[in-house]
Amino acid sequence: MSGANDLTALTIAEAREGLAAKSFTAHELTSAYLAAIEKARVLNAYVIETPEKALAMAAESDRRLASGNARPLEGIPLGIKDLFCTEGVRSTACSNILGGFIPPYESTVTSQLWRDGAVMLGKLNCDEFAMGSSNETSAFGPVVNPWRRTGSNVGTNAGTLEGTALVPGGSSGGSAAAVAARLCAGATATDTGGSIRQPAAFTGTVGIKPTYGRCSRWGIVAFASSLDQAGPIARDVRDAAIMLRSMAGNDERDSTAVDTPVPDYEKALSGEVRGLTIGIPKEYRLDGMAPEIEALWQQGIAWLKEAGAKIVDISLPHTKYALPAYYIVAPAEASSNLARYDGVRYGLREQGGDITGMYEKTRARGFGKEVRRRIMIGTYVLSAGYYDAYYVKAQKIRTLIKRDFDLAFAAGVDAVLTPATPSSAFGIGEKGSADPVEMYLNDIFTVTVNMAGLPGIAIPAGLDAKGLPLALQLIGRPFAEETLFRCGDVIERAAGRFTPPAWWTP
Amino acid sequence: MSVDSNTVKRVARLSRIALSDDEVPHLQSELNAMLAFVEQLNEVDVTGIEPMTSVIPMALKKRRDVVTAGGEAGKITANAPASDDHFFLVPKVVE
């Protein structure tokens, strides 16, 4: 019993070793995760569990392992964000408008994970169409963060309840919660403005958004096509490196997927950062920023310096304009992408008299509040008379944001170190009910990276006074994911790893 | 810039999202909060700056002009809320 449970404590690298050494089978490993998922339904991390599929895939892995033909991720059980289309398995982007959608095709990223031998445990909760920073906009309800504030006993049946259940961040909240709670060995996620890095930061996990074009977007439900990128959320830097190698690569079906070789990212984990120059941008020091965020940042600087990196102060002057520009570009692209949900070809249909009435009622009923709001803002900024004032202006500011980074990199900076989020996880229902902008501010440190198309990684670096994880972010040059893994590994070795106690197990 | 209630209704119509009158005031204030937030972009001088078209400088890829898929009408209509003999059914649009 305890032996089977212990298997979920293994990282992907450790599980790979155990499977190769025949210490346990893929069937045993998958079964341990399926049992853990069953006991953790209170977290609401999975929106659909696929145990039969998982066991069938594990059986194939056991055959491969026995015959000595193991693939790179042979038998590794993964969770898949519900934004990825999975053939024959309901895929909804956590929206009612895609209610019973069963894709007849598989996304490129997930097909590459299965090609490499991984096992699918199920689909993970997320914000509706990935629009959110707390997982509260999901049609399947919020995900509960496995982390609780010190002294909180929320979620248990032990006398007086203290504290509030916390959000896991978003939009990849189910992915981050499932990885932190050991309900999968690793998970796929997507990031349009911070949706991999912010939930990773809120749950003590590692999340990397690769360079735009590194992973194919084919078969991933589109939000904002010039910003969307897939990436992994994992227990540690090595696991994220292992997963990204399988997820990344060129794809004829995505014209923006880039045709450059995918390196063996694990080889980057040398523990060596001597000779690297790390930039510290002064614009990320916000007025009223929590002192513990500043302290964490200073600690990160000290760790990299001790390991031999050169630290330089830099300026990225257009940083403060990234978030407002994002809230023009992203809704504009979303309003265009989501025009396809019309009640004709798939998903929900509401009757409404003539065809326009049918469209309007279908979309009013099928989309949640946040999605409707973003479609409308997007429609407004693209409408006649406003296009130049809003959309073209925002795209020009995007050029300036990217130029800031280009200049820093040209001056010799290899990576930029910043805090990942302005705070630790907050309570469910605590933010954004009166003013949507309050919620949007969560992405203030992450959104610049999407606007410039750069790779960014969130690395857990400590706990705050409330006992909750905090993370640092490293931003790299285009296609320099290896540098991020190398620096992230050094921070991880210094900071250690962070695991929440398993209070949700009955 | 801020929007009035008529503009909210017009944008909802353009977005093909049905809106009841009692939803308008709340949505109006939320849209105005977002527009007020993006107002700060007016501080930035963008004279002579080209708008971003691609974050990664690359020529758009081309593929060979050949048929790569087809004959999948059954799969394509499988998720349709209403279909008949591999056609999507919609409310009458031509009298």
Rounded Cα distance between B60 and A229, Å, is: 18
CA B9, A368, A83, A181 dihedral sign is: positive
Rounded Cα distance between A141 and A89, Å, is: 20
Write down the pLDDT at residue A2: 43
- Nearest chain A Cα to B7, which residue? A380
Torsion, Cα of A360, A364, A370, A373 (10° steps): 40
Asked if A363 and B8 come within 8 Å (Cβ–Cβ), the reply is: no
**Domain range summary for chain B, segments of one domain joined by +:** 5-43
**Residue B1 reports pLDDT greater than 90:** no
Asked if B58 and A213 come within 8 Å (Cβ–Cβ), the reply is: yes
How many other β-carbons are positioned within 10 Å of the β-carbon of residue B83? 17
- Nearest chain B Cα to A326, which residue? B38
Write down the pLDDT at residue A1: 37
| Chain A interface disruption, residue of B3, B16, B53, B94, most A CBs within 10 A | B16
Write down the pLDDT at residue A194: 98
- Shortest distance between the Cα of A234 and any Cα of chain B, in A, equals 26
Tokens of B67: 């048929």
| Chain B interface disruption, residue of A376, A399, A431, A437, most B CBs within 10 A | A376
Residue B95's pLDDT band (cuts 50, 70, 90): confident
Write down the pLDDT at residue B57: 85
Write down the pLDDT at residue A4: 44
Asked if A379 and B72 come within 8 Å (Cβ–Cβ), the reply is: no
Length, in residues, of chain A: 506
Stretch 29-68 of chain B: residues touching chain A, C-beta under 8 Å: 30-31, 33-35, 37-41, 43-44, 46, 49-56, 58, 60-61, 63
Q: What percent of chain A has pLDDT over 70?
A: 99
Rounded Cα distance between B70 and A159, Å, is: 62
Rounded Cα distance between A10 and A331, Å, is: 40
Q: What is the DSSP string of A221-267?
A: PPS-TTT-EEEEEESSHHHHHHHHHHH----TT-TTS--SPPP-GGG
Write down the pLDDT at residue B93: 87
- Low-confidence residues in chain A, pLDDT < 50: 1-4
- Shortest distance between the Cα of B89 and any Cα of chain A, in A, equals 7
ipTM over 0.90: yes
Q: What pLDDT digit, counting tens, does each position of B15-71 carry?
A: 999 999 999 999 999 999 999 999 999 999 999 999 999 998 888 888 889 998 899
Total beta-carbon pairs less than 8 A apart between chain A and chain B = 165
Domains in chain A, ordered, with CATH?
A: 2-273+479-495 (3.90.1300.10)
Length, in residues, of chain B: 95
Write down the pLDDT at residue A337: 98
Q: Which residues pair with A456 in a beta bridge?
A: A209, A475
Q: Is A195 a catalytic residue?
A: yes
- The Cα-based distances of A267 to A50, A245, A264, A489 in angstroms read 33, 11, 6, 11
Q: What pLDDT digit, counting tens, does each position of A401-433 carry?
A: 999 999 999 999 999 999 999 999 999 999 988
Rounded Cα distance between A289 and A293, Å, is: 7
Tokens of A283: 């614009």
- Check if B80 contacts A (Cβ < 8 Å): yes
Q: Which residues pair with A418 in a beta bridge?
A: A473
